[in-house]
Amino acid sequence: MNPPSCSDDEFGANECNNNIAISMHEKGGGGGGGGGVLPKRIIVVRHGESQGNLDPGAYTTTPDHRIPLTSQGISQARLTGSQIRHLISSSASSPDWRVYFYVSPYARTRSTLREIARSFSKKRVIGVREECRIREQDFGNFQVQERMNAIKETRLRFGRFFYRFPEGESAADVFDRVSSFLESMWRDIDQNRLNHNPSNDLNLIIVSHGLASRVFLMRWFRWTVEQFELLHNFGNCEFRVMQLGSGGEYSLAVHHTDEELLEWGLSPDMVADQKWRANGSRGTSNDQSPRCLEAFFDLIPDSDEESEYTEDKTNSSSEFTEDKTNSSSECSEQ
């Protein structure tokens, strides 16, 4: 079956339906309201070892998007394919499960997908889409190694999320295009553009890059910039499984252990949130993790009575200060 084609407006950030994205998160990251059925899993995979991972000097003469996999990277991708197939087939509620792939257009991600796909028959694959918005962070054009080393040192001091590479992108820029992709992906699901039979388990597999994958998770789970900065990069061909929990929320904690989440850089609060999502109901709030309210309004009182008391004290203090000022002024005039 051929994958559905995308109209041009889906690729423009200005055409994205923000209300859909908000609705998706309110309903557990992707569900309800449309004709589509929620995927059982969304699996995010980083490409296998590339020539650039083995020898950073490769970027000096080869454009980033043409960097190939090494022989080790090809082997990693084949192993990852068998691991993902085993994961899906061993816990499928339906024997007729299906997969749909999104893939970055870079040579190393396309090759990774090609090797992963060896583990799946054509019967199992309902489609694949090359998706430019999940490509690697743009580091500039040809990359001179000595200059890039100095630039990356500056990035560490500046902060990984907001630092923009000269002639390239920041992680914040990647966040914007990944957000646009996520909204289109949700429309694919909600409007069943994937032509998926709802009686079969659906698994979405996203073959992308290290930073783009972390940003995708950040966007989905609404992690803060500070939380993003804690995250470690995926290893080559490592993958993260976002699985639908019993209450309709997607969570990393359904498949992965607490130890794995902590090893990847999630804080204890972030792990607690993932565990809540594994069983939490859509539309309910999670009181286990710190809320933004506490982060930004930690100085506000808990009740109206305390607020009135604080206001009275403030007014009294202001009046006292004003009286002192007036008295001092009169003394100086005398």
Of the pLDDT bands very low, low, confident and very high (cuts 50, 70, 90), residue 24 is very low
Strand duo 41-46 + 239-244: pairing? antiparallel
Residue in this structure with the two tokens 């007014």, named with its chain if needed: 315
Longest pairwise C-alpha distance within the chain: 98
Does position 307 have pLDDT exceeding 50, yes or no? yes
| Active-site residue, selected from the candidate residues 115, 131, 136, 183 | 136
What is the average per-residue pLDDT within 253-258? 97
Structure confidence at residue 211 (pLDDT): 97
- Give tens-digit pLDDT for 202-247: 999 999 999 999 999 999 999 999 999 999 999 999 999 999 999 8
Topology of domain 8-244, CATH: Rossmann fold (3.40.50)
Mean pLDDT, rounded, of the chain: 83
Every domain of the chain and the residues it spans = 8-244, 301-333
Does position 284 have pLDDT exceeding 80, yes or no? no
3-state secondary structure of 150: helix
How many CA atoms within 13 Å lie on the side-chain side of 54? 12
Within 10 Å of residue 135's Cβ, how many Cβ atoms?
Answer: 22
Least-confidence region, from 142-151, 209-218, 263-272, 295-304: 295-304
> DSSP letters along 84-111, please?
HHHHHHHT-SSTT-EEEEEE-SSHHHHH
136 counts as catalytic: yes
Within 10 Å of residue 9's Cβ, how many Cβ atoms?
Answer: 10
Within 10 Å of residue 213's Cβ, how many Cβ atoms?
Answer: 25
Can you list the alpha helix ranges (DSSP code H) found in the chain? 18-26, 51-54, 58-61, 71-90, 107-116, 145-158, 171-190, 210-221, 225-230, 258-263, 268-279, 292-296, 304-333
Residue in this structure with the two tokens 């993902």, named with its chain if needed: 84
- pLDDT greater at residue 334 or residue 58: 58
